[in-house]
Amino acid sequence: MSKHDDKKEVETTGHSWDGIEEYNNPLPRWWVWVFYATIVWGIGYTIAYPAWPGLRSATAGILGFSTRAQVQEQIDAVDAANAAMVSELENVDLATLADHPELNGFAENMGAAVFRANCVQCHGSGAAGAKGYPNLLDDDWIWGGRIEEIAFTVTNGIRNEQSMDTRGYGGVMPSFDGVLSHEEITNVASYVQLLAGEATDEAAAAEGEELFLNNCASCHGEEGQGSLATTREFEDPEYVTASDEMTGAPRLNDKVWLYGGDLATLEETILNGRGGVMPAWLEDYRPANGLTQAEVNAVAAYVHQLGGGQ
Amino acid sequence: MSAPAPQDQLYAAREPVFPRRVKGKFRNLKWVIMLITLGIYYLAPWIRWDRGPELPDQAILVDLAHRRFFFFWIEIWPHEFYFVAGLLIMAGLGLFLFTSAMGRVWCGYTCPQTVWTDLFILVERWVEGDRNARVRLWKSKWDGRKVRLRLTKWAAWVLIALATGGAWVFYFTDAPTLAVDLVTGNAHPIAYTTMLILTATTFFFGGIAREQVCIYACPWPRIQAAMMDEDTLTIGYRDWRGEPRGKLKKAEPGVQQGDCIDCMACVNVCPMGIDIRNGQQMECITCGLCIDACDDVMAKIGKSRGLIDYLALNDEPRERAGAQPRPVWKHIFRPRTILYTALWSIVGFGLVFALFIRPDIEMTVSPIRNPTFITLSDGTIRNVYDVRLRNKHGSQELFGLALDADTNLQLSVEGVDGSLVPVPADSMEIIRVYVQAGPDSAAATADRTDFTFWVTDLSTNERASVDTIFNGKETN
């Protein structure tokens, strides 16, 4: 192959690797101009947009660009787009919500967000609850698992002084310290285990039956069916949301325990009493950080579909 | 590229290239390839294929809204994108193979940049005439004729560019509907924007930038150095035959003269504006037009063809000594190309195999582990699973869910009576499934129980299964 004869007039850079010399060919003109253009663009950009950092904030830029304002705009846009659905949800009859698939889906999604923001601190991110905080996934409900009942509970809370409409206000399990002797407490606890179908000391349980009927049955029912079941025996099919009969006494003849079903925990419960409190969430009772009626309905729909709703 | 530039300047102005018309076998080959490739590009979206009532009846469809890619009878879902990755690997290996065997044949014949530039130069020649006329026009002052010719050329270029950008958008939605919408102004703004951008880039790359894209923007000229070796058939000038070059009439008896008559035909036809007689150059796209031009001249002056030709560099000493070059097949079939072919075939067979064993129904099971289990009031232990059912049939199918029997677990589907789930055509259904173990049953008391989800497509009896775990209540 021949030499690059026509390139002899171009100087080399003086660099040489294994005899290969580097020509000092100029860049194409457009390339250089693009390079200059990027510099001009860069300067203009830092003037137009927030760029130079200061001690507390950066230069604002003459275009007034702000990501926070953009996010707020987007939030406002979403709120505006959802406004019709939200107002529909606010006035919906919860009993018929399931008949409106679109609204129901919207409510469940909105409710999930409300739940994550307000409820997970006690009931857990998976709604499984914790000791003293009811599991919302199971089929055991102290205050009712129908969607309207859930909404009522969210609205008014449980044993919460902010809402005088609170079901079971004052319906706190008393302490039996001094009322029952230690041995009697053990016997009653054993009987409760028997009611729940768990292994226990049969003799102690037999001793505890009469004590249970005398001291506990007025709230928990003679068979330990709980106040909710007791109330529902008397209610009409349309049922009442808040009943004077309701004390929030949990059902005892099942496998679900709010505080624990082992003997030591049961004894502790009987000795000291229990009285879990849940805040009233409607903004009427919590002006600063309460929920709107639509949000209450949404979170009720969400909790209801978790799998334990009745 | 060839003219010197003063060293005190940072830049060099582009030297315009005015390729002359040429006739010959490589030129004809390029015409045929241009017809085929452009034909595929422009016509492929218009091939019809029955896709059922939900989708446009288009054989090649990139359905971005539903994340599906349709290619005739093949349907690619996002999680099967390895097919596309495999095709890209094959394309890469194919490039390696062709480059190591025959140099930059991709660049010279099938690269879109080359094909469209060729088309734009063709139009330019129709409007402004061949090389000499174009050079004159370039140097002439702006007058009515020059303005008229330039506007005509640019208008034709814009039409081609518009057709190029226009064809692109047809791959993404129903072509006939979109065509009507585009004309009536009802198409989506994205379609218009895409067309506008592609029209502008086609006009600029094919009409204005041309060979500069290959020289400055494209990485392939740099990569090719690693792909080519001295066995590669590439375009070269047989200087042992051509040199010393000189005008034909100067040839006198007794004076040693090569076959090259320095007619510059090879330079004038080159779309890259290089002189192949200077040896191997990065700019050369091995399109073969200089071979056609030179062979034409050789025929006229009564010399044999092949002064410029596809040749292998390691044949040079052989030819210089007067021997015949080794046969072409020896250059093409050598360990390197055979290895590339083997790798290419392995990937290809793998893809075809994967295509055939791919099921038309699929299931994914995501256990909900927050909480791991739920105790119901009668002591039943419940686990919750999110099950994704994928139906790749073009019709709605009824999927039957079941568990293997030996664990005594019960299954129920939220919102569905029973365990039959309808899944719409070509889509995925996410359902929530409850699996329950009776009070004090083995699964309820064991820490973990293995079991299997089965799904059956009731119309075809096709089955898929997923192994998963049931969490029981830990007994202390």
> Between chains, do A32 and B5 touch, taking CB under 8 Å as contact?
no
What would the pLDDT profile of B356-381 be if each residue is shown by its tens digit? 888 888 899 999 988 899 999 888 99
Q: How many Å lie between the alpha carbon of B172 and the closest alpha carbon of chain A?
A: 28
- Tokens encoding A244: 């004077």
* Per-residue model confidence (pLDDT) at position A5: 47
* Per-residue model confidence (pLDDT) at position A1: 37
Residues 251-280 of A with CB under 8 A from B: 251, 254-256
Q: How many Å lie between the alpha carbon of B353 and the closest alpha carbon of chain A?
A: 42
Show which residues on chain B lie within 8 Å of chain A, measured between beta carbons.
2-5, 7, 9-14, 212, 216, 236-237, 239, 243, 275, 277-280, 368, 370-371, 374-379, 382, 384, 414, 432, 434, 439
| Test the A interface: residue of B375, B378, B386, B476 with most A CBs within 10 Å | B375
* Per-residue model confidence (pLDDT) at position B201: 95
Cα(B179)–Cα(B170) distance, rounded to whole angstroms?
8
Residues in chain A within 8 Å Cβ distance of B377 = 138-140, 251, 254-256
- Range with the lowest mean pLDDT among B3-7, B52-56, B272-276, B445-449? B3-7
Summary mean pLDDT of chain B: 88
| Test the A interface: residue of B1, B11, B238, B433 with most A CBs within 10 Å | B11
Residue in A with minimal Cα distance to B14 = A28
Nearest to A137 among B4, B236, B374 (CB): B374
B67 phi, psi to nearest 5 deg: 50, 55
| Complex confidence, ipTM | 0.78
- Range with the lowest mean pLDDT among A109-123, B161-175, B412-426? B412-426
* Per-residue model confidence (pLDDT) at position A239: 53
pLDDT under 70: residue ranges of chain A: 1-9, 165-169, 233-245, 310
Q: Could you say which DSSP state residue A11 is in? A: P
* Per-residue model confidence (pLDDT) at position A7: 46
Residue type, B228: M
* Per-residue model confidence (pLDDT) at position B5: 47
Residue in B with minimal Cα distance to A98 = B415
Question: A27 touching B, CB under 8 A?
Answer: yes
Residues 45-104 of A with CB under 8 A from B: none
> Between chains, do B376 and A255 touch, taking CB under 8 Å as contact?
yes
> Which helix (H) or strand (E) is A23 found in, with range?
strand A20-23
pLDDT of B268 > 90? The answer is yes
| Test the B interface: residue of A133, A137, A254 with most B CBs within 10 Å | A137
Q: How many Å lie between the alpha carbon of A7 and the closest alpha carbon of chain B?
A: 7
Is residue B183 left, alpha or beta, with left meaning phi > 0 and alpha meaning psi from -120 to 50?
alpha
* Per-residue model confidence (pLDDT) at position B242: 85
What would the pLDDT profile of B210-245 be if each residue is shown by its tens digit? 998 998 889 888 887 778 888 899 999 998 888 888
> Between chains, do A124 and B376 touch, taking CB under 8 Å as contact?
no
> What pTM was estimated for this model as a whole?
0.70
Nearest to B377 among A1, A32, A255 (CB): A255
Strand-pairing partners, residue A27, are B11
pLDDT of B203 > 90? The answer is yes
Question: N- to C-terminal Cα distance for chain B?
Answer: 84
* Per-residue model confidence (pLDDT) at position B195: 94
pLDDT of B337 > 70? The answer is yes
> Between chains, do B7 and A137 touch, taking CB under 8 Å as contact?
no
- Range with the lowest mean pLDDT among A115-129, B105-119, B418-432? B418-432
Q: SS3 sequence, A255-288?
A: CCCCCCCCHHHHHHHHHHCECCCECCCECCCCCC
What would the pLDDT profile of B383-393 be if each residue is shown by its tens digit? 999 999 988 88
Residue B427's pLDDT band (cuts 50, 70, 90): confident
Nearest to A138 among B243, B368, B374 (CB): B374
- Range with the lowest mean pLDDT among A163-172, B112-121, B338-347? A163-172
What would the pLDDT profile of B17-67 be if each residue is shown by its tens digit? 999 999 999 999 999 999 999 999 999 999 998 887 778 889 999 988 888
What would the pLDDT profile of B60-88 be if each residue is shown by its tens digit? 999 888 888 988 888 888 888 889 999 99
